[in-house]
Amino acid sequence: MIHYRNVSKIYSGDVLALKNVDLEIERGEFVSIVGQSGTGKSTLLKLLILEEIPTTGQVIFNNRDLASLRSHEIPLHRRRIGVIFQDFKLLNKRTIFENVSFALEVAGRPGNEIRRNVSQILEIVGLSEKFSKYPNQLSGGEQQRVAIARALINHPEVLVADEPTGNLDMINTWEIIELLLRINKLGTTVLLATHNKDTVDRIAKRVIAIDKGNVIRDQKEGKYMI
Ligand SMILES: Nc1ncnc2c1ncn2[C@@H]1O[C@H](COP(=O)(O)OP(=O)(O)OP(=O)(O)O)[C@@H](O)[C@H]1O
Ligand SMILES: [Mg+2]
């Protein structure tokens, strides 16, 4: 489904962020990407969502080289991939319902369809009761669940999570990871970049370790270990 083919990324100033990365990720996988700060984890994810382009090599998604996408195809590609970050990036002046429905509103979907979809997704993330609250009325863990709901609203094929638990305590962290595992079970491919050793070990699924832009380990049911 996702194929990094001999991908290198050099940022301006000669910063080598990724070096000859070859990776294949199948539909339905749950993959943790680990490695020290500045080793290229976020860069790997940014290439998939077209926030960055490779310096050399190709990123292939569903048999299409992302470099070959025409500009009108890029929004469609981005809708296929939901993204969550360490900071939740919620709209603070909008309710939970509005935060989650925003993309559908912008796309001009009919009101009843929006309400149906948002209720369904809020149910999945366990926030049905909170739809009329504002982000600052929610705990950190709940805010991250809103961000997950928002990322799921277009029924993406992949959920990309870049250090999603970096701002959370242990209990909230594990709740978010359990939610990601549940979403994965429902069929969404999940890519999780994290520093959190305990969670990666507990997830016990594929682990890709990156060091200074190189993939140094790729294990099924792996452990954190860097
Ligand atoms: N836009 C940019 N311009 C120049 N250098 C960059 C840019 N983005 C990232 N880098 C550099 O590329 C390298 C990889 O960065 P990246 O953000 O992918 O690391 P990371 O593994 O996600 O780190 P962290 O765990 O701290 O999030 C680092 O040396 C970083 O400083
Ligand atoms: Mg990062």
Domain ranges across the chain = 30-50+70-219
Answer yes or no: CATH 3.40.50.300 is held by domain 30-50+70-219.
yes
- Give the type of residue at 51: E
166, 86 contact by CB (below 8 A): yes
152-210, pLDDT tens digit by residue? 999 999 999 999 999 999 899 999 999 999 999 999 999 999 988 888 888 999 999 99
- Cα separation, 141 vs 147, whole angstroms: 10
| Residue from 36, 34, 56 nearest 45 by CA | 34
Q: Which one-letter DSSP state was computed for residue 68?
A: G
Q: Comparing C-alpha atoms, which of 59, 37, 52 is closest to residue 163?
A: 37
**What's the CA gap between 24 and 144, in Å, rounded?**
28
- Ligand 2 centroid–CA 74 distance in Å is 23
**Is ligand 1 within 6 A of the CB of residue 213?**
no
pLDDT tens digits, one per residue of 70-113: 999 999 999 999 999 999 999 999 999 999 999 999 989 999 99
How much distance in Å is there from the Cα of 107 to the middle of ligand 2? 30
Q: Answer yes or no: is the C-beta of 54 below 6 A from any ligand 1 atom.
A: no
Cβ of 194 closer than 6 Å to ligand 1, yes or no, is no
Beta strand segments in 135-223, E: 158-162, 189-193, 206-211, 214-219
Whole-number Å distance between alpha carbons of 90 and 130: 14
Q: Is the CB of 39 under 6 A from ligand 1?
A: yes
14, 39, 87, 163: residue to mutate for ligand 1 pocket, most atoms within 8 A of CB: 39
- As a whole number of angstroms, the distance between CA 76 and CA 74 comes to 5
Listed residue (117, 110, 206, 191) closest to 157, CA to CA? 191
Q: Between vectors from CA 70 to CA 82 and to CA 50, what angle results, nearest 5°?
A: 35
Which amino acid appears at position 104 of this protein? L
- Give, for ligand 1, the residue of 12, 16, 42, 46 to mutate: max count of ligand atoms closer than 8 Å to Cβ: 42
For 102-146, the pLDDT digits (tens) are 999 998 999 999 999 999 999 999 999 999 999 999 999 999 999
Longest dimension (CA), the chain: 51
Enter the tokens of residue 36.
């020290």
What order do you get walking across the sheet with 189-193 strand by strand? Answer: 81-84, 158-162, 189-193, 30-34, 206-211, 214-219
Q: What percent of the chain has pLDDT over 70?
A: 98
Whole-number pLDDT of residue 197 = 81
Q: Whose CA is nearest to atom 5 of ligand 1?
A: 11
Specify burial of residue 186 (Cβ count, 10 A radius: 0-12, 13-18, 19+): exposed
Cβ-contact 10, 140 below 8 angstroms: no
Give the pLDDT of residue 71. Answer: 94
